[in-house]
Amino acid sequence: MIRGGRRVEPSSCASMSEWLYSLVGENMKTVSTQLLERIADRLKAMADPMRLHILHCLQSGEHNVNDILQLVGSSQANVSKHLAVLKKAGLVSCRRSGTSVYYFIADEDIFSICRICCDGLQRQLDADRATIEQGRAEMMRGSGE
Amino acid sequence: MIRGGRRVEPSSCASMSEWLYSLVGENMKTVSTQLLERIADRLKAMADPMRLHILHCLQSGEHNVNDILQLVGSSQANVSKHLAVLKKAGLVSCRRSGTSVYYFIADEDIFSICRICCDGLQRQLDADRATIEQGRAEMMRGSGE
DNA sequence: AGGATATATAACTATATGCCGATGGAGGGC
DNA sequence: GCCCTCCATCGGCATATAGTTATATATCCT
């Protein structure tokens, strides 16, 4: 937390909630801009269909770049850049073996996030469908009068 | 390490498998591009510091636009546009009361996602610190010989 | 109706991002 | 050394996005 000139070191906090969740200071307005940016960066790294595809490919285990670009069906340069983004965000890591570079998931939590998103999409669709069906029923009743 | 095919099975997969988890078809390559795009859109809606700030403000309860722009300290037009993005993504909803429009969280799961991101950041920082400390210790030993 | 307030939208600029083609650099086999 | 494979990076182009200013819309009040 870096508000008001005083800086609280993570090590001096008992738990994450004390540091990261010092998100909220004395009042609602003192939110750490830094933290918001870092969360945003992390989400931004995931918020791309191609990168999600790559992550999904790596879910089954590590792969080298050549394998990945075959799996996702894109150019080498493009995949390489996306991998660089994922790596910079700490979502994947890599190791060298000969001329190949093998990438693997560094943070399994990304799949939890994906699942939460899928659940949300599902709920949203269910709600939309219910709304439409209800509306349709009302229209039917209206035309019946 | 993570390689070796571990797969995260969603607990509620039974209900989702038909549509959402058509993600994985017979083989790994048949991933629904549509689903990846929709997940990406949802994450993209969250992946912005200003929008995260707004969401955080709404965590305590509904607020009208004027309150929100005071809380986050931005212009009316900008906040309004961000709210439109969040609404389109289904993350917030709103209701009208007089001339005011009150926005509120439509999907509490976003906070779970934030929480996961914070956990990840924390782990990452801890790992970085450990690496640096270990490296420093090795350097110390090296100079001592 | 007309004015006041609250919110949404349009037009525009600056910046960021995704993609491609071409080039550079690292490791392995000859 | 030379070449080959694999990967990373650069320059360029097209699009997308955050931000601002100005304008439009909606509701309430008199």
Contact A60 B36 (CB under 8 A): no
CATH 1.10.357.10 fits B45-106, yes or no: no
Give residue B122's identity as a one-letter amino acid code: Q
pLDDT band of residue B60 (cuts 50, 70, 90) is very high
Rounded Cα distance between B79 and B85, Å, is 10
State how far the Cα of A46 lies from the Cα of B39, in Å rounded to an integer.
Answer: 9
Q: What per-residue confidence (pLDDT) applies to B142? A: 66
Q: Who touches strand D, with Cβ under 7 Å?
A: A 64-66, 76-77, 80-81, 83-84, 94, 99-101; B 44, 48, 50-51, 74-78, 81-82, 85, 96, 98-99
Q: How confident is the model at residue B139 (pLDDT cuts 50, 70, 90)?
A: confident
pLDDT, tens digit only, all 145 positions of chain A: 333 333 444 443 333 334 444 444 434 345 788 999 999 999 999 999 999 999 999 999 999 999 999 999 999 999 999 999 999 999 999 999 999 999 999 999 999 999 999 999 999 899 888 988 888 998 888 654 4
> How many CA within 13 A on the CB side of residue A57?
23
Amino acid at B87: K
**Among the partner residues B47, B118, B119, nearest to A47 by beta-carbon distance:** B47
What are B61-105's pLDDT values in tens digits?
A: 999 999 999 999 999 999 999 999 999 999 999 999 999 999 999
Query: Tens digit of pLDDT for each residue in B10-30?
Result: 433 333 333 344 444 334 345
Q: Between helices B76-88 and B33-46, what is the axis angle to 10°?
A: 150
Query: What's the pLDDT at A60?
Result: 92
**Nearest-by-Cβ selection for A16 from B39, B56, B122:** B122
- What's the pLDDT score for residue A132? 86
Q: Can you give the residue ranges of every domain in chain A?
A: 1-31, 45-106, 109-145
Q: Read off φ and ψ for residue A47, nearest 5 degrees.
A: -80, 60
Determine whether the distance from the CB of B15 to the nearest atom of strand C is below 7 Å: no
